[in-house]
Amino acid sequence: MKTIPKADGLAMSLHGRVALVTGGSRGIGSATVRLMRRAGARVVFSYQTARKRAETLAGECGGPEVCRAVQQELNSVENGATLVQTAIETFGQLDILVVNHGVWPAHEQPIGTMPTEQWRRTLGINLDSTFGLVRAAAAAMLGQTMVAGTVRGHIVLVASTAAQRGEAFHADYAASKGAMVSLTKSLSSELGPQGILCNCVAPGWVRTEMSAAALDDPEASKKALATIPLSRVAEVEEIAGPIVFLCTPWAGFVSGEIFNVNGGAVLVG
């Protein structure tokens, strides 16, 4: 009989790596920052206005030697690039970029009456700044030495189920997230051969401050749950886990993947 080796734990280590997580002061971002630190990475994360919350999180995750909060508005190509430069100046390198920030206007807005200002604001935050972040991060990673001869860095974009199915009355959001899915595939084809692995995590409904207004409304919540085979919304840690996994050596042969983490919702409705 073959002897089964004694279990000694399974490490998903990011020791020696530096990660930048956008929108890291709350929700999925905050959970990702915590898990990145548990895996051993040094982390820079951005926030927009929640200074006290961001500073508290950075302190809980080890303080300025290993975790820094940076106040940075993200609504343009230029300030996306600025944030990457700040992260590199903070810890001297950049190995992981997680683009998690974004805006989802909670009110339903028919496309026939959607204000131009809403469209431009949503795409500025969700897409323009993403381009600035990715362009600057890719340039920096390409200048770094490959780890173990195979990987220079990881880029993970956080999209949405809406990117693949669309979302009525939220065309601005769905369009911005759909672009991120296509961007992931383009980046994988271009950067994979050069040692930068690019993937996308696509959550469905997640219990966050951004979704609270909808999920706290009985009618809207019932409608949302009806589209999820698991009959519940996700907790933020359930999205952070796949994000971190995609940045570990265990995902070293995963590139261009749209990692659906939505309780099966993308398959129905």
Residue numbers annotated as active site: 160, 173, 177
Token reading at 173: 């959001």
Cβ-Cβ contacts under 8 Å for 159 (sequence gap 6 or more): 177, 178, 180, 181, 184, 200, 201, 202, 258
Measure the CA–CA gap between 95 and 245, rounded to whole angstroms: 14
Cβ-contact 163, 218 below 8 angstroms: no
What Rg, from alpha-carbon coordinates, does the chain have? 18
Residues in a beta bridge with 199: 156
